[in-house]
Amino acid sequence: MYALVDCNNFYVSCERVFQPKLNGKPVVVLSNNDGCVISRSYEAKDLGILMGEPEFKIRNQIKQHDIHVFSSNYALYGDLSNRVHNLLHKFTPHVEMYSIDEAFLNFDGMTIDYNQYGQQIKMSILKWLSLPVCIGFGSSKALSKVANKIAKKYQERTQGVYVIDTEEKRTKALKWTKIEDVWGIGYRLSKKMKAHNIHTAYDFTLPHYEAFIKSTMGIVGIRLKYELEGKSVLELEEPKTKKNIAITRSFAQSITTLDEMKERVSTFATVCSEKLRKQKSCCYGVILYLRKDNFKTQKDRYSFYKMETLPYASNSAITISNVAIKMLKSIFEEGEIYKKAGVIVTQLIPENEKQFHLFEEENPKHQILMKVMDDYQKKTGDRKIKLGVQNLEKTWTMKQNHLSPKYTTRFEEIFEILC
Amino acid sequence: MLINKNIKFFIPNFENSRELPFITSGIKAGFPSPAADFDETRISLDKALVKNPHTTFYAKANGQSMKGAGIDDGDIMVIDRSIEPRNNKIAVCLIDGEFTVKRIKKTKEELLLMPENNDFQPIKVTEENQFVIWGIVTYVIKNV
């Protein structure tokens, strides 16, 4: 048996942990740069605030209904998410962190009353962390996702826990689930499905659509069909190290000079190297990606990739940044307008399998310097130590007008209680 | 294994590689430290004061009502949310959406939140109140 534990309106719920007065009131959390709405409380949903709506469009509603607005506080959400995942291990050893607010659990070999156990998990997370969750049980991951949707939609009737444990419940649940809500069916696929008369998850499992599903989705579609039929084919995924790391960004203001671009590229390379060191990997390949403004360039081509292989595997910010800048100099064209750039590191190997080379080796001082940079960042939470080409001011400034304190990750910002 | 007439090539297998520490300082010959056999890790306040790290939070005390219990203004409280509340424990309570720290006093008739300072009055929790015990204060850290 699988279960999907999903935190309700996670970012909003995190903000409410330390501001319980906001329970029952409309609350929204905005994306980076205070751009658009990415989490809404039920009260905000009822007021008609949409997911992804830009902040400036709802300013009137915010005033009129006294909606509480927060900038995203990922330090807080990350810590609370981490606590949820760790606490779930108390209920089963098999936990997969699926996303910041979802986890799959597996209960194979345990004979328990799932409904009761689900209630226990739900009540515990609520008591320990003040985070409301919904839990769906099913014999496969895809079915547990469907069950979770039902638990969430009918919270009063299900008390936030729903178990698909009979054939009758499964059929009923699949008939209720719209095709666009099925795990792994995105907007474009659902359009294709509907054009073929597949409107629900149940339709998807009918034998006469199998050939169509196979031709449009391949083996992935067939696996999903099995999963919805209750045959588990997707197992829990243990945390894996990533095979590529990419940092790409669109620019708020287009970039036209090499100096400006050097600064950006170097920053992206530094963040890539940081992520490599975090997962204890080194890379052999570095890819630089540039994209011009396709409406303003005279030339046919507007997207550029260049790749270079390092003589030795590295996770040093200096090495990766230098290679990226070397590539940049060779493909950058003055006078063009660039909209987007990125650095991607590939051919990753574990740090400890790094081979030593006879003739060419990285300056060993890099490792020491990187450690100092990482330790400093860990201690202060700031990326204050930077490479010379990086801009000290601009780099990570974000609009965060409604940021709550980092209650759980910074000592100076812990919450105060009236005594 | 590839065989090329006289030379055998072995392909190393890294699958079960074992990590060994690489000691950069070199190894000195001489009398070994007698303390090495009694190697213990240093005392960690984190480990001593936090039994359940995933349910523990820190908060700063603001006010004097719990002075008698040793909680002064500005002290840091260690709060464990997984401990079951019991009579006489000092708890972080949520009453009608507001946080407060008080000692829990439960009798047959009533539930009282007791301050530890004569300048303050006990708070009586009634059915009209929305009341939750948020966590139990396990330690107080103060600057002396």
What mean pLDDT, rounded, does chain A reach?
90
Give pLDDT tens digits for A58-97: 999 999 999 999 999 988 999 999 999 999 999 999 999 8
Mean pLDDT of A301-310: 85
Quick check: is A385 in a domain? no
Check if the beta carbon of residue B82 is closer than 8 Å to that of residue B52. yes
Residues A107 and A130 in one domain: yes
Q: Which pLDDT score, from 0 to 100, does residue B28 have?
A: 66
Minimum distance, in Å, between the CA of residue B36 and any CA atom of chain A: 27
Residues A114 and A194 in one domain: no
Test the A interface: residue of B64, B81, B90, B99 with most A CBs within 10 Å? B99
Residue type, A419: C
* Separation between Cα atoms, residue A16 and residue A29, nearest integer Å: 11
Residues A131 and A182 in one domain: no
pLDDT tier, A240 (very low <50, low <70, confident <90, very high otherwise):
low
pLDDT tier, A336 (very low <50, low <70, confident <90, very high otherwise):
confident
Domain extent, residue A184, equals 166-239
Give pLDDT tens digits for B45-98: 888 899 999 999 999 999 999 999 999 999 999 999 999 999 999 999 999 999
- For chains A and B, count residue pairs whose Cβ atoms are closer than 8 Å: 66
Chosen domain end from A187, A214, A239:
A239
Minimum distance, in Å, between the CA of residue A418 and any CA atom of chain B: 5
CATH code of residue A281: 3.30.1490.100
Residues A140 and A224 in one domain: no
Residue A147 has pLDDT above 60, yes or no: yes
Residues A117 and A252 in one domain: no
- CA A371-A376-A382 angle, 5° bins: 130
Residue A410 has pLDDT above 80, yes or no: yes
Chosen domain end from A211, A239, A267:
A239
Chosen domain end from A180, A212, A239:
A239
Percent of chain B topping pLDDT 90: 62
Model pTM?
Answer: 0.74
DSSP 8-state assignment for residue B48: H
Residues A75 and A7 in one domain: yes
* Subunit contact B14:A353, Cβ cutoff 8 A: yes
**Which residues of chain A make contact with B97, given a CB cutoff of 8 A?**
20-21, 23
Give pLDDT tens digits for A115-142: 999 999 999 999 999 999 999 999 999 9
Residue B14 has pLDDT above 70, yes or no: no
Residues A228 and A214 in one domain: yes
Quick check: is A88 in a domain? yes
CATH code of residue A57: 3.30.70.270
Residue of A nearest to B94 (CA): A20
Quick check: is A373 in a domain? yes
Highest-confidence range of A8-17, A108-117, A233-242, B20-29, by mean pLDDT? A8-17
Question: What total of structural domains would you count in chain A?
Answer: 3
Mean pLDDT of A21-46: 93
Q: Which pLDDT score, from 0 to 100, does residue A346 have?
A: 86
Query: What is the 3 state secondary structure string of A79-134?
Result: HHHHHHHHHHCCCCCEEEEEECCEEEEECCCCCCCHHHHHHHHHHHHHHHHCCCEE
Residues A40 and A154 in one domain: yes
Q: Which pLDDT score, from 0 to 100, does residue A399 have?
A: 76
Residues A43 and A159 in one domain: yes
Residues A138 and A203 in one domain: no
* Subunit contact B65:A23, Cβ cutoff 8 A: no
Give pLDDT tens digits for A155-178: 999 999 999 999 999 999 999 999
* Subunit contact A411:B58, Cβ cutoff 8 A: yes
* A-contacting residues in B 99-128 (Cβ below 8 Å): 99-101
Residue B1 has pLDDT above 80, yes or no: no
Quick check: is A390 in a domain? no
ipTM over cut 0.90: no
* Separation between Cα atoms, residue A27 and residue A138, nearest integer Å: 32
Residues A145 and A73 in one domain: yes
Quick check: is A388 in a domain? no
* Separation between Cα atoms, residue A51 and residue A57, nearest integer Å: 12
Percent of chain A topping pLDDT 70: 95
What domains, with CATH codes, occur in chain B? 45-141 (2.10.109.10)
* Subunit contact A128:B54, Cβ cutoff 8 A: yes
Q: State the catalytic residue, choosing from B5, B33, B65, B142.
A: B65
**Which residues of chain B make contact with A129, given a CB cutoff of 8 A?**
55, 81
Residue A15 has pLDDT above 70, yes or no: yes
Residue of B nearest to A80 (CA): B54
Q: State the catalytic residue, choosing from B89, B102, B105, B108.
A: B102
Quick check: is A396 in a domain? no
Residues A119 and A151 in one domain: yes
Query: What is the 3 state secondary structure string of chain A?
Result: CEEEEEECCHHHHHHHHHCHHHCCCCEEEECHHHCEEEEECHHHHHCCCCCCCEHHHHHHHHHHHCCEEEECCHHHHHHHHHHHHHHHCCCCCEEEEEECCEEEEECCCCCCCHHHHHHHHHHHHHHHHCCCEEEEEECCHHHHHHHHHHHHHCHHHHCCEEECCCHHHHHHHHHHCEHHHCCCCCHHHHHHHHHCCCCEHHHHCCHHHHHHHHHHHCHHHHHHHHHHCCCCCCCCCCCCCCCCEEEEEEEEEEECCHHHHHHHHHHHHHHHHHHHHHCCEEEEEEEEEEEECCCCCCCCCCEEEEEEEEEEEECCHHHHHHHHHHHHHHHCCCCCCEEEEEEEEEEEEEHHHCCCCCCCCCCCHHHHHHHHHHHHHHHHCCCCCCCCCCCCCCCCCCCCCCCCCCCCCCHHHCEEEEC
Whether residue B81 lies within 8 A of chain A, CB to CB, comes out as yes
Mean pLDDT of A200-213: 94
Q: Which pLDDT score, from 0 to 100, does residue B23 have?
A: 59
Residue A396 has pLDDT above 60, yes or no: no
More confident residue, A367 or A200: A200
Residue type, B72: D
CATH code of residue A185: 1.10.150.20
Quick check: is A392 in a domain? no
Q: Which pLDDT score, from 0 to 100, does residue B21 have?
A: 61
